[in-house]
Each structure stands twice: as C-alpha cells, then as structure tokens.
Homo-oligomer: A and B are copies of this chain.
Amino acid sequence: MEVKSRAPGKIILSGEHAVVHGSTAVASSIDLYTYVSLRFSTPSDDQDSLKLQLKETALEFSWPITRIRASFPQLSSTPTSCSVENAKAIAALVQDLNIPEANFGLASGVSAFLWLYSSIQGFKPATVLVTSELPLGSGLGSSASFCVALAAALLAYTDSVSFHVNHQGWLSFGEKDLELVNQWAFEGEKIIHGKPSGIDNTVSAYGNIISFKLGSLTHMKSSVPLKMLITNTKVGRNTKALVAGVGERMLRHPDIMAFVFSAVDSLSNELTSILKSPTPDELSVTEKEQKIEELMEMNEGLLQSMGVSHATIQTVLQTTLKYKLASKLTGAGGGGCVLTLLPTLLSGTVVDKVVAELESCGFQCFIAGIGGGGVEINFGVSS
C-alpha cells in the first residue's frame, strides 16, 4: 500500500512587507514540489517502526511504534493545535535523534511530521520518504509544501476522502477534503514557525494565485502562463528583524511610508487584474508580460524604499538588468530569493547565459511556472 503526494512551493508576486501594514499582497504557487511517499509496512516488513527518510539530506530517522504510542496517550483526529504536553513528548522523541546542527530547521520539521503522522494515522508502522525540489528556508514555502504533501498523503488513506482525476495518474482532493489537508498542514506549520500567516500552506494546498489583505484571502486563476527565474542568493534572512525594521521605519517616517504602502496596494490590485483578464481578448501575453515586468520593477523600488534589500539582491538585479529582464525580491528580502520574469519570447540562449552568470556569483537558480494547481496524490507510483 503506497501513496505519493506532491505539493507546490510558493512565491510572493507582490506586496510583501506592505501586507503587514494593510496593503494587498499576491502569492502564487510554483511548479517546484515537495514529494512525500507513504508506504505502510506489510507483514514481511519491520512491524514496529515508523521511518522518516529525507532524501536531500540523506538522513533517516526511525522510532519504535510502541514509543510513539506511549508518547501520545490521547489524540484528536480533527485538526488540533499541538498542546504543550504533546509538544514536550515530541521534543523528547526528536532529542534522541541527534540531528546535525547544520541541517536548517530540521528538528522542527521532524516534530511537525510526528504530530501530523500520529494525529492522522495513529500508530501504524510505515516508511515515509520526503524529497523536495525547493531550497529550505529561502522563502519559497518549503516547510508549508512539506506539511501539505504530508497531510495529503496521510489523509489519502482515511475514510470518505473523495478525489477527482487530474492528469497522468495524479488525483486532487474534493473541496472539503482539501480544506482538511490545508488545516492539518497549518497545524504542522505552527509547530515549525510558531505563528505562520497560513498563506504558504494555503497556496501549496490550493495552488493558483491568492491575493490577501488584512487576513482575508481571494483565490483566482491566472490567464497568463508566466515563467519565473528564481535566484536563491543563499543569504539567510532574519524575517522577524526585517519585518520589525520596516515597522520602525514606519514609525520614523509615517507619512512617506503610508504612501509607499498605498502604492504597493494599488500595485497588487493592478497585478491581479492583469493576471485575471482574459488572454488574448484584451492584451496579448507579451503585452501582459511587459506590464507585469513594469510592476515588478516598481515593487522592487518600493521594497528598497522600505529598506529590505541586500547587496546580493542588488547583484541579481544588476545582472538581470544587463539582459533587460525585470526582477524583484520575493518574501522577506535581506537576501533570500529574487524573481526574474522570463518572457515567453525570450530565447533559451539568453536564459542559459543569465543563469550561468548568476550561478558564477554563487547563487542557485530555478526556473518555475507560476500559478499551477495545488496538492495532488498518486496511488499508482512505485518510486
């Protein structure tokens, strides 16, 4: 019995930071995925262990089922926050693993795994293999896509879950079940991040494009098949400090910053209306791309005026500007990732050149389609 799930990462197309001060932000799924394979043990397998294999770090963790069962005397089968008692039990289970310190955020990811697995599937012996196309801790929603893919794989085997067929064996959840996946994933995200906004897991679960403002979300489908070059500067960010820095700048310069945030709000609204408008009825794809490039350039300038840029981000901007490509940071800034729109008519030779130049600076490049579907599962795979 095996199921594989995949859940996409996310980028912020516009409005990061300003969203904290009431502006609209726009997030999108990217077709880079975290994959989770769940295989329940058969009678010929080890019947008393739960195994977690993380392919990218080549790490494998294992717990005796009896120990897990003893750790959680009582569990709710509906999405529930991890109590302080259960958190202590998880900490004890994780502490024994001696996770290498170099592995960013791994302990909290493993904790989320233990919580979701035990809550949803109880104490069945199984092996869970996680692979990911997303860099960790770079603002591309790797932890959320892990939680969503995991919740999806775990829920796939519970009763009364309905699917519909997508493509090539991939199935997606019915509306109610998808919301359940999303709620469980959010509980996992809370273990990893403390107070996540819930945007990352929602984008990963539902896919497509989501605009959000003052806590309310609007789902939409893009009519423009955008492709982005995502450059990971590999500079670790302190998101909390960056958000606090913008807040302090707001206190020092309330008038200026209020206009900057209003500009971002208008920008996000203009972006969503371009993404939604039918193609090619109103504008051609190329015309839309040009408008989006201009909005990206403007958003980047506004982010710089908030003080969240970084020398490495400037290097990416400068490199892509040489090829007349528009870029903006995505997420918290201060390092992290930079988006560069790759227009439909751009030659592959130019893309190769830009990527080579960025990689020669020590950056990591990804090319991703924007606004695709959310989490999917597949019962037919054997990998």
User: Is A307 a contact of B302 with CB atoms below 8 Å?
Assistant: no
Inter-chain CA distance A253–B291, complex, in Å, is 10
Contact of A97 with B by CB under 8 A = no
Contact of A262 with B by CB under 8 A = yes
Q: Which B residues are in CB contact (< 8 Å) with A315?
A: 318
| Chain A contact surface mostly | helix
Which residues of A from 297 to 326 have beta carbons under 8 Å from B? 297-307, 309, 311, 314-315, 317-318, 321-322
**A291 nearest CB neighbor, chain B only:** B252
Which residues of A from 254 to 310 have beta carbons under 8 Å from B? 255-257, 259-260, 262-263, 266-267, 269-270, 291, 294-295, 297-307, 309
Q: Which B residues are in CB contact (< 8 Å) with A259?
A: 259-260, 262-263, 266
Q: Which B residues are in CB contact (< 8 Å) with A322?
A: 311
User: Is B298 a contact of A253 with CB atoms below 8 Å?
Assistant: yes
Inter-chain CA distance A321–B307, complex, in Å, is 12
User: Is B321 a contact of A314 with CB atoms below 8 Å?
Assistant: yes
Contact of A249 with B by CB under 8 A = yes
User: Is B307 a contact of A318 with CB atoms below 8 Å?
Assistant: no
Chain B min CB distance to A144 (Å): 29
Chain B min CB distance to A320 (Å): 10
Q: Which B residues are in CB contact (< 8 Å) with A262?
A: 259
Inter-chain CA distance A299–B267, complex, in Å, is 18
Interface residues on A, range: 35 or more
User: Is B304 a contact of A311 with CB atoms below 8 Å?
Assistant: no
The oligomer's copy count stands at 2
Interface string of A225-253 (1 = CB under 8 A from B): 00000000000000000000000010011
Inter-chain CA distance A263–B307, complex, in Å, is 15
Chain B min CB distance to A251 (Å): 12
Which residues of A from 315 to 344 have beta carbons under 8 Å from B? 315, 317-318, 321-322
Inter-chain CA distance A270–B249, complex, in Å, is 13
**A249 nearest CB neighbor, chain B only:** B294
User: Is A263 a contact of B260 with CB atoms below 8 Å?
Assistant: yes
**A254 nearest CB neighbor, chain B only:** B266
- Assuming A259-B263, A266-B256, A270-B256, is B311 touching A294 (CB within 8 A)? no
Chain B min CB distance to A37 (Å): 44
Chain B min CB distance to A328 (Å): 10
User: Is A304 a contact of B304 with CB atoms below 8 Å?
Assistant: yes
User: Is B298 a contact of A256 with CB atoms below 8 Å?
Assistant: yes
Chain B min CB distance to A173 (Å): 38
Q: Which B residues are in CB contact (< 8 Å) with A267?
A: 253, 256
- Assuming A300-B304, A314-B317, A318-B311, is B270 touching A263 (CB within 8 A)? no
- Assuming A249-B294, A298-B253, is B305 touching A314 (CB within 8 A)? no
Inter-chain CA distance A311–B309, complex, in Å, is 16
User: Is B311 a contact of A321 with CB atoms below 8 Å?
Assistant: yes
User: Is A301 a contact of B298 with CB atoms below 8 Å?
Assistant: no
Chain B min CB distance to A317 (Å): 6
Inter-chain CA distance A269–B302, complex, in Å, is 19
For the complex of A and B, 7 pairs with smallest distance between CB atoms: A301-B305, A301-B304, A259-B263, A255-B266, A298-B305, A314-B318, A259-B262
15 contacts between A and B (CB under 8 A): A249-B294, A252-B291, A253-B298, A259-B259, A259-B262, A294-B307, A298-B305, A301-B301, A301-B304, A302-B305, A311-B322, A314-B314, A314-B318, A315-B318, A318-B318
Interface residues of A (CB under 8 A from B): 249, 252-253, 255-257, 259-260, 262-263, 266-267, 269-270, 291, 294-295, 297-307, 309, 311, 314-315, 317-318, 321-322
